[in-house]
Amino acid sequence: MSTETSSGKLDTIVIGWGKGGKTLAGALARAGEKVAIVEQSAQMYGGTCINIGCVPTKALIHDAEQHADGIPASQKFDNAVQRRDDLTALLRAKNYSMLNDLDSVLVLTGRASFTGPKSIKVRTEEEELELSAARIIINTGAQPAVPQIPGASIGGRVHDSTTIQHAPLPKSLVVVGGGYVGIEFASVFGQFGSKVTVLDRGKRALSKEDADVASEVQSCLEDAGVTILSKAQVTGISQDSSCATVSFEVGGEPRQISADAVLIALGRTPATRELNLEAAGIRSGERGEIMVDEFLATSAEGVYALGDVTGGAQFTYVSLDDHRVLANHLLGDGTRSTKDRVAVPYTIFCTPPLSRVGLSEDQARKQGLSIKTAVKKVAAVAAMPRPKIVGDPRGIIKFVVDAQDDQILGAALMHVDSQEVINLVALAMRQGMAASQLRDQIFTHPSSTEALNEVLGELR
């Protein structure tokens, strides 16, 4: 679709090629609308997930877990990075063609910013275009947060979660941040042979998880040679041609640690700074997140926002569900809303992966709920041979159940295949299945799922 034939006749403009935006762009185009989708970089067709987020990092994690005797660690890492690059290139091309091949979709590569409530300008490499549409959808995602720490600017030996993926394999690495991103990268680089130190400012890493679950994660990280220092407040970073040095305090005592590289992993912030939201009358929050209602409408009529840019849970599958909500609002009966969501799971892809859904024990007790729990180390689960078969029987399984009505309130699964099993638990919760019903289901053998038969039988 050419700019000449589309200028001034667009029904919808989508800014950003994330999961929700690209899927909605295709749905609207197939419904007969003329759609423009704007992506700031040709290297980001398809969005964060397939290019620098979920897919490439999990490819690196998978390859880190493979034992390749006789291959130097640096070569193993380089091979993994090349496979990562080949995979993302394939997926990026597929995502581009999915929209570019539609006659009613205009694909633009450039930076978009609002010039009014229903208009934007797009700066491409060749020109600056003015576009307007009856509807605009913002799907620009999030970007790594850079803290106000002296020397924390990304460059040289200091990396964020994007640049670290193409850095030379460091013999030593300091990870600033003990959250989910920091833990994943600590796990992957530890398994590639790096000496990793995680500096976490909290009382303990993974503070949102129950202590017994977090302890199991830390134990597995230690198996990979990772050291976690808690209550560590970073005060500065310096670097030279030989190393980077991180200055920090623990209990008021100043310390330093030097390494080949530093990874800043202190979360991600909504990518809205260059959008000129004020020109459209779009309200945003303190972190730049776009404020939306339960139907994903912004404060500007006809402007919507999807995915990470709204400041909610930063998961690709939530962005996809945002697409369902908005598609239902624009093309369906309008009954869906973001309030429909219950039991949304997540996985931290350390080794083995930690997956969780619903309430932790700590959260349930703080709410004053009457609960039962079942906790068991994976190695002690007799009816769960698969982790032993594949050579990694580490981990823990924990359920939190309402003591009155036997409803599952939450679960934490850290074991081989947990990223799959957690979806079954989440589905059971959405359907109101009692813990005893899930306990008595028939599961394949040998599998990780059949651990539910045994563990749920030990609720106390």
Give the Cβ contact number of residue 70 at 10 Å.
5
Name the pairing type of β-strands 354-358 and 346-348.
antiparallel
Which has the closest alpha carbon to 133: 118, 143, 116?
A: 118
d(Cα 415, Cα 392) in Å, to the nearest integer?
Answer: 8
How far is Cα of residue 9 from the mean position of the Cα atoms in its chain?
A: 36
Q: Does 353 sit behind a cis peptide bond, omega within 30 degrees of 0 on the bond before it?
A: no
Q: Name the H helices within 308-357.
A: 316-331
**DSSP string of 95-150?**
HHHHHHTSTTEEEEESEEEEEETTEEEEE-SS-EEEEEEEEEEE---EEE---S-T
Which one of 62, 323, 329, 445 is the catalytic residue?
445
- Tokens 């909500």 identify what position? 325
d(Cα 174, Cα 223) in Å, to the nearest integer?
Answer: 17
The single-letter DSSP state of residue 64 is: H
Sheet holding 226-229, edge to edge: 158-159, 261-264, 172-176, 195-199, 226-229
**Angle of the 19-30 helix axis to the 73-100 helix axis, nearest 10:** 20
- Tokens 């597995």 identify what position? 220
Radius of gyration of the chain (CA): 24
Q: Residues 373, 401: contact at Cβ < 8 Å?
A: yes
Name the pairing type of β-strands 35-39 and 10-15.
parallel
Sorted by sequence, the CB contacts under 8 Å of residue 369 that are 6+ apart come out as 359, 402, 409
Q: Is 62 an active-site residue?
A: no
Show which residues are catalytic.
445
